[in-house]
Structures are given as structure tokens and as C-alpha cells.
Amino acid sequence: MKAANILVDRKFRAKVADFGLSQKKQLGGTGTPFWMAPELLRKEAANSSASDVFSFGVILVEVYSRKDPYEGESTKDILKEIADKSIRRRPTVPDNCPPQIRSMISDCLVDEGEMRPTFQELDTRLIRIDAEAVDIKTRSSRINKTVSLFDIFPRYVDSP
């Protein structure tokens, strides 16, 4: 899974293309290297939902940085550092990333696949973040209440 596989329809709904197709191959890991989980690069495991969660974490970094992970760096060196258990190289999380998303990215990019959240857990977290954003927007609109025309002009008064 990588950003290039995420399509957005006219209603701004994300659709994932080629999702899970790599699981059909039983021989080693398949995918685009920078988005591959370390266990796949080390050939310790086959593709799984946990390795897709790692890829999702890299996609979140892309969304907030607006660039490819490890842009301009040596592919060979980066892949060795991602796979190396003593280095555990990961893409840099941009400064403009909200704390809740930063935490989600960190959780997705852990080295051990079984320690990563499930997509159901991630969905729950995203729903909570969205609900908090809506609540803040609602409270803000109440504080900055717009003035109605009745506040400016007097109500219609019947003449005698």
C-alpha cells in the first residue's frame, strides 16, 4: 500500500487500489520498498494487515509532508537502515503534524508487527479525532456567533 494507490472520487472519498493483491504472492514480501514494513525487507514474514498498517503510517507522513518518504536519499542505504533492528530508520514526521496523528504514525511504524494497531483501532482513533475537530468547530462558531439581521434592523412594526 502506498499513496499512489489511493484514489479520491468526486465526493472526496478515498478508494484504495491494488490493496491486498500482494498477499496472493506467497514468496517473500512484495511492494514498493520505502512503504514496506521492516519484517518484509528482512524477509522474516509475508505480507499481512500489520505490514499494511506500517505502509499506512508512511502514507500519513506523506500526507503531512507533501513529499515522498526519504526524498533524495540513497534507496539502498535507507532500506538497510529501515530493516536494521539496531537503527530502525523511519521517515521524519513533519512539524505541522497534529499530536494525535503524530502518535498514530509512531504506533504504525513500530518494528514489531504485532505491536502495531489494527485498522479497526486506527479507524476508531480517526473517528475520535474527527469528532473532536467537529466539536471544536461547533464551540468556535458559538463563540463567534454571527450577527443576525434582527440584531441590526428593528423588527417590522405595524403602523396604526
CA atoms within a 13 Å half-sphere pointing along the CA-CB vector of 73: 17
CA nearest neighbour of 33 among 67, 85, 72, 83? 83
Indicate the pTM of the whole model. 0.71
Closest by Cα among 111, 11, 36, 94 to 60: 94
Q: What is the predicted pLDDT for the residue at 113?
A: 95
Ranges of H-type helices in 1-148: 38-41, 49-65, 75-83, 99-108, 119-143
What are the residue boundaries of the structural domains of the chain, listed by start? 3-117
What is the predicted pLDDT for the residue at 27?
A: 40
Q: CA-CA distance, 137 to 144, in Å (whole number)?
A: 10
Could you give the 3-state DSSP secondary structure of residue 44? Answer: coil
Average pLDDT over residues 137-149: 58
State the CATH architecture for 3-117: Orthogonal Bundle (1.10)
